[in-house]
């Protein structure tokens, strides 16, 4: 089984690399076609630098005379954003799971809460971020004051809780009636039913929901950093590098690559959790 799993990981990695290579080839192909005919998008070196120009920008100093390279600055900012995203992810998952348990346990809560949970995601994030920052700056808990970083984490949690709450609710409702009847025949308490039956049955639904939640947390973190201008994160770095587009057009793409790497690392960590949780589950065979 380990050999099969390793083979699947290898094949998936090869497909991922092939996809990256295809994107790079398409990028250069669009630039080449744009040099021959007029396209509806700009393909000059300022708007679309060559791939090798972006790669060479990794080793450039971030600031003239600085010992820190652009790559080092991007990796540091991506790591900082990853911590914020995971903080928001943990908070969002906790809230979403709690809501799912409550809605599954009490039907009237599901009827009353679920529409508001769905409606909460219709608020534009760009409009929500400044509002949360403005309100958060007025909040303090004794010696601890609310900072913009906490606002960014709150926004990440706000986006992360929805997929988990819906997916967990579907998973907690997944057990078959015969399984529930068997637990009742053993006089199992609702808590025992939850831990012994509903949670194990919900794993196939929870894992995809976790992947969507971590992706939403990363997107929320980057967008919130851009909207609020919080220092240290990859979102702020994208803003700073975008100001240098005229002189160093490839530099901003390095920051964008850092944001992409941030999402890939976060998703890989959740995928590793998926492999651990589902290691003993039966795998689907070929038809």
Q: Specify whether 130 is located in the same domain as 232.
A: yes
State mean pLDDT over 27-47.
81
Q: Which residues pair with 144 in a beta bridge?
A: 141
Mean pLDDT of the chain: 82
Q: Is 48 left (phi over 0), alpha (psi -120 to 50) or beta?
A: beta
Is the per-residue pLDDT at 111 higher than 90?
no
Write the DSSP string, 176-239. -HHHHHHHHHTT--HHHHIIIIIHHHHHHHHHHHHHHHHHHHHHHHHHHHHHH--TTSHHHHHH
* The predicted structure's pLDDT at residue 285: 40
Q: Specify whether 36 is located in the same domain as 150.
A: no
Do residues 255 and 243 touch, judged by C-beta distance below 8 A? no
More reliable by pLDDT, 65 or 229: 229
Is the per-residue pLDDT at 90 higher than 90?
yes
Work out the percent of the chain whose per-residue pLDDT is above 70: 91
Domain that holds residue 231: 49-277
Q: Specify whether 130 is located in the same domain as 173.
A: yes
Would you say residue 286 lies in a domain? Answer: no
Q: Specify whether 90 is located in the same domain as 164.
A: yes
* The predicted structure's pLDDT at residue 87: 92
State mean pLDDT over 72-88.
90
Q: Specify whether 23 is located in the same domain as 82.
A: no
d(CA 19, CA 6): 20
* The predicted structure's pLDDT at residue 235: 87
Would you say residue 39 lies in a domain? Answer: yes
- How much is the pTM? 0.82
Q: Specify whether 99 is located in the same domain as 232.
A: yes
pLDDT bucket at 88, cuts 50 / 70 / 90: very high
Would you say residue 88 lies in a domain? Answer: yes
State mean pLDDT over 256-278.
82
Q: Specify whether 29 is located in the same domain as 58.
A: no
State mean pLDDT over 12-40.
82
**172-228 confidence digits (pLDDT tens):** 988 888 888 888 888 888 888 888 888 888 888 888 899 899 989 998 899 888 887
Q: Specify whether 23 is located in the same domain as 110.
A: no
Burial of 152 (0-12, 13-18, 19+ CB in 10 A): buried
Do residues 210 and 276 touch, judged by C-beta distance below 8 A? no
* The predicted structure's pLDDT at residue 286: 40
Q: Specify whether 191 is located in the same domain as 161.
A: yes
Would you say residue 166 lies in a domain? Answer: yes
Q: Find the angle CA(25)-CA(17)-CA(241) to the nearest 5 degrees.
A: 65
Q: Specify whether 32 is located in the same domain as 81.
A: no
Do residues 236 and 230 touch, judged by C-beta distance below 8 A? yes
Is the per-residue pLDDT at 2 higher than 60?
no
d(CA 103, CA 274): 25
Is the per-residue pLDDT at 283 higher than 60?
no
Count of domains for the chain:
2
* CA-based nearest residue to 103, from 44, 151, 173: 173
State mean pLDDT over 139-145.
70
């Amino acid at each position: 089984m380990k050999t099969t799993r390793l083979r699947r990981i290898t094949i998936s990695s090869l497909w991922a690399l092939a996809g990256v290579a295809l994107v790079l080839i398409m990028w250069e192909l669009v630039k080449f076609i744009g040099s021959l005919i007029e396209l509806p998008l700009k393909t000059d070196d300022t708007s679309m630098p060559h791939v090798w120009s972006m790669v060479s920008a990794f080793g450039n100093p971030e600031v003239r005379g600085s010992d820190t390279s652009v790559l080092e600055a991007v990796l540091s900012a991506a790591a900082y954003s990853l911590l914020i995203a995971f903080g928001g992810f943990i908070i969002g998952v906790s809230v979403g799971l709690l809501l799912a348990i409550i809605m599954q346990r009490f039907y009237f809560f599901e009827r009353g809460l679920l529409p508001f949970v769905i409606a909460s995601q219709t608020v534009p994030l760009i409009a929500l971020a400044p509002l949360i920052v403005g309100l958060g700056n007025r909040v303090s808990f004794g010696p601890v004051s609310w900072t913009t970083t906490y606002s960014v984490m709150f926004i990440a949690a706000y986006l992360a809780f929805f997929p988990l709450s819906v997916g967990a609710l579907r998973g907690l409702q997944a057990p078959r009636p015969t399984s529930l009847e068997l637990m009742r025949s053993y006089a199992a308490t609702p808590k025992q039913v939850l831990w012994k039956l509903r949670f194990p049955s919900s794993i196939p639904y929870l894992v995809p929901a976790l992947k969507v939640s971590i992706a939403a947390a990363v997107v929320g973190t980057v967008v919130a950093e851009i909207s609020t201008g919080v220092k240290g994160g990859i979102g702020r770095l994208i803003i700073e590098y975008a100001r240098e587009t005229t002189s160093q057009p490839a530099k901003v793409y390095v920051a964008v690559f850092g944001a992409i790497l941030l999402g890939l690392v976060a998703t890989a960590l959740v995928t590793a959790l998926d492999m651990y949780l589902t290691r003993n589950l039966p795998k689907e065979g070929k038809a």
